[in-house]
Each structure stands twice: as C-alpha cells, then as structure tokens.
C-alpha cells in the first residue's frame, strides 16, 4: 500500500463482563504488545514509526498506532514455509492490517494467553490473510492432525474464496483445509473430514474447516467424530452478518457446541479465574478472531460472540500525521478505501434505465474503451435479468460500443443469479475475471467479501443501508488499487444520502455529483426507443425467453408496428397491458428471488442490527422503482412516448444543481 495508513489497537476488554475473581495485573496482554512492538522495532524501515509511536500514547489511552513502515516478509519473523507460501501468492510484504494483527495473534497464541481479536478495517485491506497467516504459522509447529481452526462465513461463495486462500498454503505447510458449504453432497463432505483407523477410532484428515454456519452446525450434529474440543482458532468473517438476526442461530449453535464441551468448559473456567496465568499447554485455548469492514468498537455483539478480553484493531484510514496527539481514535465511523472515488448520479425514476445506458456510454468515463469491468448492483433478480437484456440489446444495436463487435455468444453483460448452483457461480465469476463479459448484474449476495478484480461498482438500485453500501462499493478499490463507484439516486435522496455518508463514514475524498446532462439524454432517446421496441418484440409471449429478432430486420418495420399498436383503441391497449402483466408475473416466477431458506443461508443484512440506516426510502424502492422498469408498460415506455420533451423542460427548471 503506498498511502500512509494508521492502525490503532484498542483494548476493548471493558466491553465484556470481568471475570468473577479479581484479576492480577494484565502482564500477558502487555507482553503481547511488547512482542508486537518488538516485531516492529526489528524492522529496518521502522525509523518513521519510532519517531511517531509515543510510549505515553500506549499507556494513556490504551491505544497505540503503527506507522506506515512496510514490513517485508523476510523481516516478519514468520515460518519459512509460510513465507514461501505467501511468495507463491505474490505477497512480498504485509499490509497494514496484517502488520498489526499477525504479530499479536502469534504472540498471544504462542504464549497460550487468552484474549480474542476484533478486526475492523476497510474492504480490500487484506483481513483474510490477517487471520490465515497466524493460523498457518501456529499450526505449522504442530505435527498431529486435529481440527484446529474453524472459519465461519455468511455465504457459500465467500466460503469457497477463503478455502481457496487456505489451500494455497497446503503444499508448503501441509495443513489441510476442507470446504463445508454445500458444494458437495453432505456425505462427500463427511468423507473429506475423518477416516476410520483399523482400531475403529476416527482420525481427522484436515486441520481447518471453512464453511457457512448452518452447514458447519449440521456437521457438528451429524458427522461422527466432528468435535470442536481441539480448536485453537474460531474465525468469524463478516461477523456483523453472522451475528445478525437472520444468521445468528447457526453461530449460536456452533459456539454452544464449542463452549459446552466439557474439556473446553474446564479450560475456559481456568482462563476466567486466572486470566493472566498461561495455560500449561498453550494450545488449550481457542482464540476468536472477528472481522468485518463494518465493525466498530461498539462491540454490542460481544455477548453473542462470547468474547473474552477482546482487543480491537482498526484502521483509521486517515492520512494525517501519524504522530499527532490530536488524532482522535474514532471507533464509531466506518472507513472506505482511500483509493475509492465515489459518485452520485441523480436520475428521474421514469427513465432510470436510460440513465444507466447514458452513464455507460458517457465519453468522460470511457468504460468500454478502457476495458473496465463493472459490477452493477440491483435489488431483484428480475431487474438484473431485464437490465442485462437491455444492455446487450444496446450493444447489439451499437448504442453501446465496445472494442469488440456484438457477438450473441459473447455478450457484454451477464446476470449473477442468486439461484445459481455453486459451480455455476464460480464459473461465472471466472468468466468475468477473464473478461468474457464486462458488466455483471448482481444482488447483495455479491456484496460481501467477494474478491474479484472490478474497476467500477454501479448501484443501480441504491442500497437501503449504509453498511450494505460500504460493502458493495468495497468490491472495487481493493488492495490499494484505484476504483470508482456510481450510485443512482433520486433528487430528493441526494442530500440525505450525502449527509449520512459524511457523518458515518471516514472518507479521504468527497463523494461527487456526476451530472448526466439533458443533451446527453436527448442524444440517445431515439436509440433507446428503438431498443425498447426490439425488447418488447423480443419477448416471446408466455415464456421467459428472449427471442432476438432477425439481425437484418429493418428497424423501420419495428417502428411501423409500434405506430400501428399505438393507434389501437384504449380497450385494446388495456388488454395488452393486462396480458403483459401476466407474462411478467410468469417471468418473475421463473427467476424467483430465493427461497427464504436459501436467502438466509446466503446472506441477508439485518435491518435491526444496522446502526447506519438511511432507510426511509425503503418502501419506495420496494413499491415504486421496480415498477418503473423499462419493460413495464407504465414505466419507461409509454410516458416516454408522450412526454419526453415536457419532461426535459420540467427537469431543467427543477434541477437543484443547475447542471442540466
């Protein structure tokens, strides 16, 4: 990371109930800090940090900061096998969050000291390796194979991704990781986990498991020998989702299974009554590591997570002087990557898709010239599907021009459907990364943790929650790369959105308004009309399939048909409308959003657990915006025919920003 990043660590132990007996001075916590400081001081390029870390800061505020000194892998005191694995992944130095978290976790775990870890740093800052590295380091010292680490994540997709990171270490450290997310049948998953010895005993075949809470819990209940008693790490990635109302049952079940195990219960009793005396055998303690980009020091969740003496790590994300004593340790704000440039685009709900197309072909952005990859978030599968068709049609009709001509087999836009099977999802993401298509329409199932190389995020449907926004836009500007986001908002939403963002999010760059001029809209209105015509003709009635017209069919013919249609009586129109609604119903059913079960398993942001609402438009989104979709007869198409000029005039007068 080239920019200066500050990392602060806060001992949040006052947020959990103190152990019942009076505790001795916290030597071990101190010593873990000392070890971590020593780790820093050993670095060649630490001069800047030495200047800026003041011992009194550490003592006074229970907060200490690290400078932006880089730590090369050679200087990170890691096991050579772990270093070799990291190098094979092109990791040559540790990112800020890893520099902060890795030495502390290793120090605590090596000395057998209890104490859980909470990591709240921006999207794309490298939180995954901040727990994978210490797990690999600690496990690489043990020869026996037992289940030592369990990583709980909210989505199947994220489970695959984290499993992939662990599996890259396997050739070097020989520590095996199993994926338990339902990609395989349950009994196939079971076969990966344990084998039966000749004496009938069960033996673990893996050291780490990664999975969704429900699936892991199913294994705890149904897989013989699946015991959590030897765990040394319990990781909860995207912990705020895991502990939200919709997902917490699974996590609760897993934590019950761990804490209620008699051996574990004894260990924890021992840690409670004598927290500063190291356990005789260091590995008799499972450390919890909680991560999320939207985790603040309000550890309201610690009760549910049953944390013990948590230490809280957070990036401030600021670039101000590291040594400044006036620097406030702000634990109530979220942070977005400093390399992210955020934009708002105001739109008129009657012409929302037109705004999207206009944005995509905007000469300043040059999306397609520069071969950018775009992730576009919508709230419904059906909207995603329809927008994909619209964009592909716009490409086919040359309204959207790219480097490559239209190819029916290789369209520029695809839909990531929530009812895809796991292997379909992975195949689609691979294709996207390889550039087979440029735009991926998706829902919030892609909003959390997914690490793909995306240049731009478009929020076609603005999210109703601030947290959701932070995670969605965080799919770009990852690992220090530049990224852009565009959020479509109605005029009256803009101020509210902006205020909310400014008050709750630490941003190094202001969010800018990106105006789409009326001239620009005008310039493609005819083309848009033709696209809609084609689209309407293209939907074969009674089916979900889009049947494209013959490439050679003159547009004039389609236009003529449209005129005829408009000369027909109102009655006829109403019939048509009715018919079309029915058809649409069938279409939506075909792409049913998700069963509740799936949705819960995958990811659902809890409305109750989010402090960052800007939600008074929620109903409006639910009830209105989708109805204005382009292939709804009352939406973009008919008003467009009747009142476009008038609309433009009104828009000119109404515009707050006077940019039209």
Q: Which chain residues interact with ligand ATP by CB under 6 A? A: 91, 93-95, 98, 123-129, 293, 449, 451, 474, 478-479
CA–CA gap between residue 566 and residue 638 (Å, rounded): 10
- Count the residues in the chain: 660
194, β-bridge pairs: 204
The minimum distance between CB 74 and ligand ATP, in angstroms, equals 13
Q: How far is the CB of 71 from ligand ATP (least distance, A)?
A: 9
Tell me whether residue 457 or residue 462 sits nearer to ligand ATP (CB atom). 457
Alpha carbon 495 to chain centroid distance? 25
In contact, 223 and 184? CB cutoff 8 Å: no
Question: Tokens in use for 339?
Answer: 């390399």
Q: Provide, rounded to whole angstroms, the least separation between the CB of residue 151 and ligand ATP.
A: 12
Query: Whole-number minimum distance, CB 70 to ligand ATP, in Å?
Result: 10
Query: Sign of dihedral through CA atoms 247, 448, 423, 592?
Result: positive
The phi, psi pair for 349, rounded to 5°, reads -60, -25
What's the first-to-final CA gap in the chain, in angstroms?
39
Which is closer to ligand ATP, CB of 124 or CB of 250? Answer: 124
For ligand ATP, the closer of residues 93 and 276 by Cβ is 93
Instruction: Work out how close the CB of 216 gets to ligand ATP at its nearest, in angstroms, rounded to a whole number.
Output: 19
Residue nearer to ligand ATP on the CB measure, 240 or 348: 240
Integer angstrom CA distances of residue 631 from 362, 385, 399, 469: 23, 11, 18, 27
Give the span between the Cα atoms of 337 and 295, in whole angstroms: 15
Give whole-number Cα distances, 177 to 2, 78, 207, in Å: 33, 20, 6
Cβ proximity to ligand ATP: between 61 and 480 the closer is 480
Least separation in angstroms between CB 471 and ligand ATP: 7
Q: In terms of CB distance, is 294 or 487 closer to ligand ATP?
A: 294
93 vs 583, which CB is nearer to ligand ATP?
A: 93
What are the two backbone dihedrals, phi and then psi, of residue 474, each rounded to the nearest 5 degrees? -75, 0
Helix, strand, coil shares of the chain as percentages rounded to 5? 45, 15, 40
Least spacing, CB of residue 103 vs ligand ATP, in Å: 14
Which tokens belong to 642? 């009747």
CA-to-CA distance for 450 and 410, rounded, in angstroms?
Answer: 24
Residue 294 tokens, joined: 């939207």
The nearest distance, CB 59 to ligand ATP, in angstroms, is 30
CA atoms lying within 13 Å on the CB side of residue 156? 21
CB of 133 to ligand ATP, least distance (A): 9
Q: Which is nearer to ligand ATP, 458 or 527 (CB)?
A: 458
Q: Which is nearer to ligand ATP, 161 or 396 (CB)?
A: 161
| Closest distance of CB 116 from ligand ATP, Å | 18
CB of 604 to ligand ATP, least distance (A): 17
Report, in Å, the least distance between residue 541 CB and ligand ATP: 43
Nearer to ligand ATP, 449 or 636 (CB): 449
Q: Residue 428: enclosing H or E segment and its boundaries?
A: helix 422-433
Rounded least distance, CB 164 to ligand ATP, Å? 10
Beta bridge partners of residue 490, listed in sequence order: 347
Contact 77, 39 (CB under 8 A): yes
Q: Please list the alpha-helical segments (H only) found in 482-569.
A: 491-504, 518-538, 555-567
Contact between 9 and 100 (Cβ < 8 Å): yes
Nearer Cβ to ligand ATP (351/469) = 469
Closer residue to ligand ATP (CB): 127 or 467: 127
Both tokens assigned to 306: 């049953």
Is residue 346 within 8 Å of 559, Cβ to Cβ?
A: no
Instruction: Return the structure tokens found at 509.
Output: 């760059």
247 within 8 A of 241, measured Cβ to Cβ: yes
What SS3 state is found at 72?
A: strand
Cα separation, 156 vs 507, whole angstroms: 31
Specify the residue, 126 or 463, whose C-beta has the smaller distance to ligand ATP. 126
Distance from C-alpha of 392 to C-alpha of 52, rounded to nearest angstrom: 54
CB atoms within 10 A of CB 540: 11
């Amino acid at each position: 990371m080239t920019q200066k990043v500050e990392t602060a660590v806060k001992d949040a132990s006052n947020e959990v109930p103190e152990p019942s007996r009076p505790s001795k001075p916290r030597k071990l916590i101190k010593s873990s800090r000392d070890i971590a400081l020593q780790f820093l001081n050993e670095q060649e390029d630490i001069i800047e940090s030495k200047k800026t870390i003041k011992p009194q800061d550490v003592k006074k505020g229970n907060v200490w900061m690290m400078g932006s000194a880089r730590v090369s892998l050679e200087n990170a005191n890691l096991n050579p096998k772990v270093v070799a694995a990291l190098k094979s992944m092109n990791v040559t130095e540790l990112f800020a969050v890893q520099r902060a978290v890795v030495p502390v976790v290793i120090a605590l775990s090596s000395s057998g000291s209890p104490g859980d870890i909470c990591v709240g740093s921006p999207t794309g800052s490298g939180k995954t390796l901040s727990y994978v590295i210490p797990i690999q380091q600690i496990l690489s010292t043990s020869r026996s194979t037992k289940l030592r680490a369990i990583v709980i994540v909210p989505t199947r997709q994220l489970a695959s991704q984290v499993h992939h990171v662990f599996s890259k270490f396997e050739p070097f450290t020989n520590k095996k990781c199993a994926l338990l997310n339902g990609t395989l049948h349950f009994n196939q998953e079971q076969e990966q986990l344990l084998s039966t010895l000749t004496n009938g005993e069960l033996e673990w075949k893996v050291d780490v498991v990664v999975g969704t809470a429900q699936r892991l819990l199913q294994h705890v209940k149904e897989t013989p020998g699946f015991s959590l008693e030897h765990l040394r790490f319990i990781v909860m990635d995207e912990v705020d989702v895991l502990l939200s109302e919709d997902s917490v049952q699974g996590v609760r079940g897993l934590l019950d299974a761990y804490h209620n195990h008699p051996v574990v219960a004894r260990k924890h009793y021992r840690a409670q009554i004598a927290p500063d005396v190291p356990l005789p055998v260091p590995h008799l303690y499972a450390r919890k590591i909680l991560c999320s980009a939207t985790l603040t020091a309000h550890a309201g969740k610690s009760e549910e997570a049953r944390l013990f003496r948590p230490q809280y790590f957070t990036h401030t994300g600021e670039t101000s002087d590291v040594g400044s004593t006036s620097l406030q340790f702000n634990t109530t704000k979220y942070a977005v990557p400093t390399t992210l440039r955020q934009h708002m685009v105001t739109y008129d709900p009657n012409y929302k898709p037109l705004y999207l197309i206009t944005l995509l072909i905007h000469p300043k952005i040059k999306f397609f010239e520069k071969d950018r990859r775009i992730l576009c978030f919508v709230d419904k599968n059906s909207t995603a599907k329809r927008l994909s068709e619209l964009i592909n049609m716009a490409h086919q009709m040359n309204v959207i021009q790219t480097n490559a001509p239209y190819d029916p087999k290789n369209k520029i836009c695809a839909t990531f459907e929530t009812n895809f099977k796991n292997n379909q999802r992975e195949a689609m993401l691979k294709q996207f990364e390889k550039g087979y298509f440029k735009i991926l329409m998706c829902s919030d199932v892609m909003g959390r943790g997914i690490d793909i190389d995306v240049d731009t995020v478009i929020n076609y449907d603005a999210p109703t929650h601030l947290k959701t926004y932070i995670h969605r836009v965080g799919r770009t500007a990852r690992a220090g790369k530049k990224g852009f986001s565009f959020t479509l908002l109605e005029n009256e939403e803009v101020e509210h959105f902006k205020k909310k963002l400014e008050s709750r999010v630490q941003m190094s760059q202001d969010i800018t308004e990106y105006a789409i001029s009326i001239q620009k809209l005008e310039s493609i209105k005819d083309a848009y009309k033709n696209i809609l015509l084609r689209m309407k003709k293209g939907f074969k009635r009674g089916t979900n399939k889009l049947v494209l017209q013959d490439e050679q069919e003159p547009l004039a013919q389609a236009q003529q048909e449209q005129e005829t249609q408009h000369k027909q009586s109102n009655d006829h129109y109403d019939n048509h409308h009715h018919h079309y609604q029915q058809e649409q119903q069938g279409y939506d059913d075909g792409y049913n959003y998700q069963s509740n079960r799936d949705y819960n398993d995958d990811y659902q942001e809890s409305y109750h657990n989010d402090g960052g609402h800007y939600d008074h438009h929620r109903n409006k989104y639910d009830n209105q915006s989708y109805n204005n979709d382009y292939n709804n007869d009352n939406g973009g198409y008919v008003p467009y025919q009747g009142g476009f000029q008038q609309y433009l005039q009104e828009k000119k007068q109404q515009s707050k920003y006077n940019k039209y």
